[in-house]
Structure 1
Amino acid sequence: MKKFKSAILATSITSLLTLGASQSVNASQQIVDTMSSQLRLNYQIVDNNAVNAGVDCAALGADWASCNKVTLTLKNTGPAITSKDWAIYFHNIRMILAVNNDQYKITHVTGDLHKLEPTEKFTNIPANAQVTIPVIGEYWQISESDVMPRWYVTSTDAKPKIIANTNTDSDNLSAFVAPLGEQWKISPNDHNILMTPESRYQRNSDIKKIATDLLQGQILPTPVKLTVGKETITLNQNGVNLMLNGLAQASQSVLESHFKQLNIAVTKQGYKVKASIDKTAFEKGVNGSYKLDITSEGATIVAFDESGIFYAVESILSSIGKSSIINTLSVEDAPRFEYRGMMLDTGRNFKSKKAVLQLLDMMSKYKMNKFHFHLSDDEGWRIEIPGLPELTDFGSKRCHDLTEKQCLLPQLGSGPNSDNNGSGYFTRADYIEIVKYANARFIEVIPEIDMPAHARAAIMSMEVRYQRLMDQGKPNEANEYRLLDPSDTSNTTTVQFYNRQSYLNPCLDSSKKFADKVISEIAKMHVEAGQPISTWHFGGDEAKNIHFGNGYQDIHAAQKEAGKGLIDQSVEDHPWAKSPACQTFVKQGIVKNIEHLPSYFAVEVSKIIKNNGINRMQAWQDGVKFATNAKAFATDEVVVNFWDNLYWGGYDSVNEFANKGYKVIVSNPDYVYLDMPYEVNPKESGYYWASRFNDERKIFSFAPDNLPQNAETSFDRNGDVFAAKGTMNWPGAYGLSAQIWTENIRTDDKLAYMAYPRLLSVAERAWHKAEWETDYQKDREFQQGKTQYVDQQQLHNDWNHFANLIGQRELAKLDLASINYRLPVPGAKIEDGKLVANVAFPGLTIEYSTDKGENWQAYNGPVAVNGAVSIRSVSADNKRTSRVEQLK
């Protein structure tokens, strides 16, 4: 009887506990549901130079003593919120330094993830009222795209929910981000010009429309020699007959699809295009060289190799104007650089296979031949590796799991769920398809698995693997690919605010084994795809603790420097400084000091690369800076992506790497990072740490093989002139590469917007050396306004020609390819009561409205207007428009 009563009692207690837990979860869920639906968030950037308003940014520990003021407003549209059992998680690319409302606190979680929650002093969020939370953050926020979407509410064990007015994948964040107004400058010393309709009109004023007949027969990128005849051939009557002897069928099929995209049939009765390979016809044996003659009878191609045939036909396609007309012409052509590249980051935010294939197809049309595929980063692992399922089962997903057993924590606006491009990966089959697709277009795929820094997704995935196998009683297997030294207690902070879990440990044999496993598996995929890997990208960038940067100083220092943040550097460590395994390396003399470990690991991985039959290693230049020279590595060649800003000394530091035997790919962020904004305007998204803008004209004007020259044609980040002089010998660049990092590029459409049409300018400079580009001369100094080595008139004429080709021809072709390219906002002003307008690419239609966008009219010349006027440009197919702006 006692046992029976005990059983009843136990059952009753269990039921009560279960009921209590259920009620608790229900209560928590009710809090989340209530707050997420009835709160409205507003994010107002108040002051980007808070130090000038009396804020002691240095004492708050801000880098270079730079901080900004923001006001967060929580508007409650319903009953009072009295519970303290809640937290709002949000993504913020600036470290929060202070909160000036004692009812709330913000703590940093990891990366850009922060948590806002009530303090003990919290009373309530009143009914139908709002509370303001003044916040001070590091640096500045001068673009609406600095603010990340998907702020979400949590409470105990409830399912998180996104605050309704922050739930967007769009770049239009106006539902919760207040206009920046005058807060568009980094500092009072920022001398950039804000792009308004009026200032944009001035910038466009030297661009004139060229008569269409003068553009006939022109080819992009520009050939070495081009002679255009007067006869024309109309291709859409009978189509084309491609007789391309020596070209693989897969590549011929690509060209056929490009003709069909322009509504030109490929038929046996069509205009004959004949090709053959004859290496003896070329004095210089340069891959991709070709000779092309177009006559009324047919086109004849003589090429140095298969890629030469492909590029020659692309030149025919490029020369096609309106009504499918081509001119008779003669071309002799060869690429300027062997490496004409594009880097795509899929780690920060994933990009679909469709988007990658579209990018490869567009690269092939403009004769770009290297696809640098960034497949991993702190925020995500993006490729399936047989035998290591955790890399994709865990490391490719982001969601709200504070234990990080199911997924990585959210970052970069991905919010609590895995239903957006914060998550995703390429299957083995996907990757093989991508490589095949690239190979048919004469594009080499260069995979990058970033290490030893930017490796958090891999590290945490291998921790999940470690725990799984330890739970199964398999310690040897568990440690096989572990990337952390569990005894490492180093306190370090990465550029993106991660801790030591962002750096795989270079002193562990398991780290090398992991590298070997990943390299060998991806190499197998390349073999299956028919393009064996010839170059492996090691990564190697930013393996440092940012709190040892020049903008910080030790709070205990006897002498303090003005303009630097005060932090306790005595508790800061370099990566791996407290790893026993790495301390042993230093004691044994394997490395000189802890800071040399990234370059040591680069050398070790080069041996693995070589053992996998790959003879070229590529890396970001800072990943090899402590190696003696290129001969320290096991691979036959070592190539570096050089990414120092020119105005911070990159015009000369590039020479150091070239003179150490590295092949240099010019990849400067202040010219060819396509994640920088198109123009200086808070509505124009993009990061701007390197440059306030990288537009098509600036990229077109870039001299990649004589970096000092650019000081005569461009400005630094503050909009000021700078002097540049190379003090060492320069053997010449191996290539040019554009980069797209995707921290705030969350969708495929946004990727296309950021890439096109800027990629055309990159392709032009990678293929063609212009007459206004001067040859490098040691100790020759350049500075805008002081030197005149560049033929500015020739540069202007070339750009005017190029801008007309884009506006009158190329954008229409992008429309036919379904590319979501950026349409430039027109320039405009009111002059004597009339609207005058222009656009960066002549040929685009400009429209204006005098009734706030209710009705639009085509602008055909100066027109009398009254009141407010709105302007926009329209795509050639009339399906899309630019951002709308209003004249003041």
Structure 2
Amino acid sequence: MRRACLIGISLCIGACQAQTAGTAADSAALGMSARAPNISVVFRPVNNLASADGSFFLGTFTFRNDSAMRLGGSGWQIYFSYYPRTFLKDGEGNAQYKQHLAEQGVRIQKAASGDYFVLEPLEHFVPLEPGQERVIEVLVGSWSVLKSDAPSGFHIVFPPSTEAWALSSSVEVDPADPKQTTRMPSDVVPVQTAALRYQENESLTRASLEPADALVPRPQSVTYGTGQYQLGGARIDVEYARGLAKEAAFLQAALGDVLVGVIDARERRANAAIRLVLDPNVASGPEGYTLSIDPEKGIEIRGVDSAGVFYGIQTLRQLVPVEPGKKVSVALPALSISDAPLFPYRGMTLDVARHFHSKATLEKLLDVLALHKINKLHLHLTDDEGWRLEIPGIPELTSYGAKRGFDAGEQRQLHVALGSTRGLRPGDGIRGKARNEAEANGGEWPAYQGFERASLNFAGEGSGYYTVRDFEEILAYATERHVDVIPEIDMPGHARAAVKAMEHRYAQYAATDPVKAGQYRLVDPNDTSKHTTVQGYTDDFLNPCLPSSYAFLSKVVGEIQARFNAVPGAKLTMIHGGGDELPSLRTNVWWQGSPLCKTNPDTANLGDLQLRDLFLTKWQRIITATGARMTGWDDVLHDGFQLEGFIPMPWQNVWGRGREDFAYKYANRGNNVILSHATNLYLDMAYNKDPDEPGLYWANFVDDRRTFEYQPFDLFALGTHDRMGNPFDPHAWDAKERLTPAGRANVLGMAGLLWGENVKTDELVEYFAFPKILGVAERAWNRHTPAPAEMPAAWERFVNALGQSVLPRLDFYRAVDVRHELPRARGVNYRIPLPGAKIDHGQLLANVRYPSMVIEYSTNGGATFADYTGPVAVSGPVWLRTRTRSGHVSRVTKVD
């Protein structure tokens, strides 16, 4: 490893000097200042190829001190989040690179369980004077190729002060440097460039679409008539059958957004323009419908059930031409559609535990999902980083467990996690945060069309929860749209927020009311078991040997059931019990060090796997006592455990790791299964290897094509390359278990899953979800899954549907406001694709993934842009971007 000066420290401004260590008074004076310390941090991943096996990389922190005080050899600490990384210990590494933090006068260690670290000086740290920069070299586990991999949420503390000050941070990645963009020597996935996108898009052309081709999901059967039906006028009458009043009200509100006339819905009406009818024989299976548009007779929607009528309404909405503003009338094509879903479970998982998202965001999301016939919203309400649902009778879950901030002893709240606390608001023990997202973003308002620096500087809600009223209103809103909400309480791991909240409760009442203090306690305080999860947590397990653990879960589930019971029509069909990511017993102990487990006669002789299975059995009984079924992660079944009636969500299918066929094994042996495969259905995976694409990529890079091309019944057709881009032998999966006809009947459906580590703002929920979730909607509803040979043509039709109809609709989208309660805001922040481009013999050639979107180009560094309409002569570099119908633009890309 390179060295700087005599002790491995580079002073970018000023030379190394023989200076004495700064005094604590220097730092304390800075801490006492009324102004925030002007110290900034830049992170750079320098060399991901530092280790041959990808086990660690070389990175640098560059600290710049623009304050008036020196940072000396004591008296300060810099805290930050770094998910889910670890730092090598001093002396660890290889022959070429070894960690040498002590030589640089600093140490980095865990500040608490999880992703929270602290960097502090050693006595021989050379003071960082005003105006100086300091580069600290670090060896970090794994690799770092995207900007969203960077550490975040930096804040400095000057003990004995307990107040922290925010530091401004940023990250730099050079996309042209292979050492910064290659995970390990076997990584052959190319970095995204304009030229690569041009090649990927070259086969895609703008195609003429029949009306049904523009629908997502595409209906099962369509017959076209002659002419059009004009829907509009001063008055539009809607007739609906008994039992369809809610669906009629939804249609009434939806039409009111696009037509100026009065829409009047009544149960009995002659000569109505639109008729809603229940007919159990109209289509094959639940949720099926027919939609007839006749130039003379008007519109009729027949549904097997009320859900079928609702989906017929949603198809009708998608047939309305996409234009902003209200019209006197709209022309609808004469046609007849017969449609029914492939799967009864068509879902999306949203993690609100890692970062909180408002009720308004959930309601908008629910509306757009329902438009595309997604019918399940699985809410990941609890995790190590936060508890998001008010539980009457256990206020500490939200007064403590829903809050994050700087609180070294976690006396009032959880510690900072994932670089966020209370957004940019005060009240979290950190002063000097940016005043708004523009300031956090280096001076420009974030567009959230990719990575934004603001995400490193406290933008994002680490705190927040849904009140009883909020949750009941979410349930009512979802029920109105025929979406079942599936709450998840993740246990026995991933439980730190609950564990710490109940320890906080214990401390409150231990002296005055010991019974109340221990009523819901989740841990044995004398447990010496040691574990570390993949996320770095060492204290996030619920103890399965305590009666109070089950009292807690029974109370939580009872209150969840009460929320559903309070909402007419809301169905508690499933509760997700979690059960994932308990760390390997080869190097961890779960509960064997717990004295209370050893003294409990029911658990005294049980090993850790047996204790887990005992817990899951009891956990399922608590859930099913409500009448709901228990679903959870398929980790529950990995060790051969049988849990009758349990519905696994298999997710760990990373190619080459051995669990590729687990979903089919479960289904073949009789389990109902919800397909949740990370390689194609994890919406939080980055779109591609572009440093400015946010997201994780441990399973794969996942774009909208991967969700669209998913093969629910032939997963191995997708296993052509490993996650590093290397091809598999065509016979690699010959020994894997295939889905049998009986097993196929046990596949309930599939879900797109949006985990929240990088989804820090409400805008990013939409960026990550759309348009990827539309591919999930297509595969979950459409009864014809194209074979691999058919996929190119199907994909071309799909991208034309997105470009010409679906995404323009989202440009101007406003959620259906049945009760006149929603904001007037329009539009969905879907990901806008960057153009592909190349320069060939002085001619600029450009294309875009979704034909019909406008490409703009600039020859003056982005100062001005012109529309690209065809090959154009250029000299020198060209900057390009994509523009939507609403005027929003993608990130800018450059081609030389």
* TM-score calculated relative to the size of structure 1: 0.85
Render the CA deviation track for 1:516-537: whole Å, top value 9, x for unaligned.
0000001101110121412111
Render the CA deviation track for 1:347-378: whole Å, top value 9, x for unaligned.
00111111111111111100111110111000
SS at 2:281's partner residue?
helix
The percentage of counterpart residues that share the same residue type is: 34
* Alignment match of 2:689 (pick from 664, 680, 693): 680
Q: Which residue of 2 aligns with 1:399?
A: 405
Shift of 1:796: 1.2
Q: Which residue of 1 aligns with 2:711?
A: 703
* Residue 342 to residue 590, structure 1, CA distance change in 2 (3 Å): farther
Q: Which residue of 2 aligns with 1:108?
A: 110
Q: Which residue of 2 aligns with 1:764?
A: 778
After the TM superposition, which residues 16-415 of structure 1 pair with which residues of structure 2 at under 5 Å, given as runs?
Answer: 28=28, 30-31=30-31, 33=33, 37-52=37-52, 66-79=55-68, 80-82=70-72, 84-93=74-83, 94-98=85-89, 99-101=99-101, 102=103, 103-109=105-111, 110-158=113-161, 160-166=163-169, 173=170, 181-182=177-178, 183-211=180-208, 214-215=210-211, 218-235=214-231, 240-262=236-258, 265=261, 267-268=263-264, 272-282=273-283, 284=284, 286-297=285-296, 298-322=298-322, 324-414=330-420
After the TM superposition, which residues 727-876 of structure 1 pair with which residues of structure 2 at under 5 Å, given as runs?
Answer: 727=737, 729-730=739-740, 731-732=743-744, 733-770=747-784, 772-773=786-787, 790=788, 792=789, 794-817=790-813, 818-876=827-885
* Residue 121 to residue 27, structure 1, CA distance change in 2 (3 Å): closer
* Residue 390 to residue 327, structure 1, CA distance change in 2 (3 Å): same
Shift of 1:640: 1.1
**More divergent stretch after superposition (645-654 vs 384-393):** 645-654
Shift of 1:207: 0.8
After the TM superposition, which residues 440-839 of structure 1 pair with which residues of structure 2 at under 5 Å, given as runs?
Answer: 440-472=480-512, 474-499=513-538, 501-530=539-568, 531-545=570-584, 548=586, 573-583=588-598, 593-611=607-625, 613-626=626-639, 628-631=641-644, 637-647=645-655, 648-691=657-700, 693-711=701-719, 714-722=720-728, 723-725=732-734, 726-727=736-737, 729-730=739-740, 731-732=743-744, 733-770=747-784, 772-773=786-787, 790=788, 792=789, 794-817=790-813, 818-839=827-848
CA distance, structure 2, for counterparts of residue 178 and residue 30 of structure 1: 34
CA distance, structure 2, for counterparts of residue 727 and residue 407 of structure 1: 47
Q: Which residue of 1 aligns with 2:16?
A: none
**More divergent stretch after superposition (426-435 vs 29-38):** 29-38
1:234–1:325: 8 Å Cα contact kept in structure 2?
Answer: yes
SS at 2:57's partner residue?
strand
**More divergent stretch after superposition (369-378 vs 267-276):** 267-276
1:390–1:465: 8 Å Cα contact kept in structure 2?
Answer: yes
Shift of 1:34: 8.9
Render the CA deviation track for 1:270-329: whole Å, top value 9, x for unaligned.
9812121111344x4x22111111111311122100000000111111122346432111
1:629–1:661: 8 Å Cα contact kept in structure 2?
Answer: no
SS at 2:37's partner residue?
helix
Aligned-residue Cα RMSD (Å) equals 2.5
* Residue 699 to residue 686, structure 1, CA distance change in 2 (3 Å): same
Q: Which residue of 2 aligns with 1:881?
A: 889
SS at 2:152's partner residue?
coil
* Residue 831 to residue 379, structure 1, CA distance change in 2 (3 Å): same
Render the CA deviation track for 1:212-267: whole Å, top value 9, x for unaligned.
5x456742211111123342234455675432324543443333333344456552
**More divergent stretch after superposition (233-242 vs 286-295):** 233-242
Shift of 1:395: 0.3
Shift of 1:41: 1.1
1:715–1:721: 8 Å Cα contact kept in structure 2?
Answer: yes
* Residue 294 to residue 448, structure 1, CA distance change in 2 (3 Å): same
SS at 2:405's partner residue?
coil
CA distance, structure 2, for counterparts of residue 67 and residue 240 of structure 1: 66
* Alignment match of 1:428 (pick from 465, 468, 471): 468
Shift of 1:156: 1.5
Shift of 1:342: 0.6
Point out the structure with the larger helix share. Answer: 1
2:603–2:611: 8 Å Cα contact kept in structure 1?
Answer: no
Q: Which amino acid aligns with 2:123?
A: E
Render the CA deviation track for 1:598-645: whole Å, top value 9, x for unaligned.
33211111111222x3241111010243464342xxxxx321111022
CA distance, structure 1, for counterparts of residue 831 and residue 299 of structure 2: 34
CA distance, structure 1, for counterparts of residue 393 and residue 215 of structure 2: 48
**More divergent stretch after superposition (35-44 vs 352-361):** 35-44
2:247–2:306: 8 Å Cα contact kept in structure 1?
Answer: no
CA distance, structure 1, for counterparts of residue 674 and residue 139 of structure 2: 39
Q: Which amino acid aligns with 1:512?
A: Y
* Residue 847 to residue 418, structure 1, CA distance change in 2 (3 Å): farther
* Residue 216 to residue 339, structure 1, CA distance change in 2 (3 Å): closer
Render the CA deviation track for 1:1-28: whole Å, top value 9, x for unaligned.
xxxxxxxxxxxxxxxxxxxxxxx99973
* Residue 759 to residue 32, structure 1, CA distance change in 2 (3 Å): farther
* Residue 206 to residue 400, structure 1, CA distance change in 2 (3 Å): same
* Residue 687 to residue 108, structure 1, CA distance change in 2 (3 Å): same
SS at 1:689's partner residue?
coil
Shift of 1:763: 0.3
* Residue 511 to residue 861, structure 1, CA distance change in 2 (3 Å): same
1:469–1:477: 8 Å Cα contact kept in structure 2?
Answer: yes
* Residue 221 to residue 532, structure 1, CA distance change in 2 (3 Å): closer
Extract unaligned runs of 5+ from structure 2.
1-23, 90-98, 266-270, 324-329, 429-459, 814-826
SS at 1:221's partner residue?
coil
* Residue 72 to residue 581, structure 1, CA distance change in 2 (3 Å): same
2:494–2:540: 8 Å Cα contact kept in structure 1?
Answer: yes
SS at 2:857's partner residue?
strand
* Residue 590 to residue 375, structure 1, CA distance change in 2 (3 Å): same
SS at 1:96's partner residue?
coil
SS at 1:529's partner residue?
coil
CA distance, structure 2, for counterparts of residue 199 and residue 43 of structure 1: 28
Q: Which residue of 2 aligns with 1:16?
A: none
CA distance, structure 2, for counterparts of residue 92 and residue 702 of structure 1: 32
SS at 1:341's partner residue?
strand
1:669–1:690: 8 Å Cα contact kept in structure 2?
Answer: yes
* Residue 719 to residue 235, structure 1, CA distance change in 2 (3 Å): farther
CA distance, structure 2, for counterparts of residue 353 and residue 827 of structure 1: 37
SS at 1:280's partner residue?
coil
* Residue 31 to residue 740, structure 1, CA distance change in 2 (3 Å): same
CA distance, structure 2, for counterparts of residue 30 and residue 126 of structure 1: 12
* Residue 264 to residue 491, structure 1, CA distance change in 2 (3 Å): farther
Q: Which amino acid aligns with 1:42?
A: V
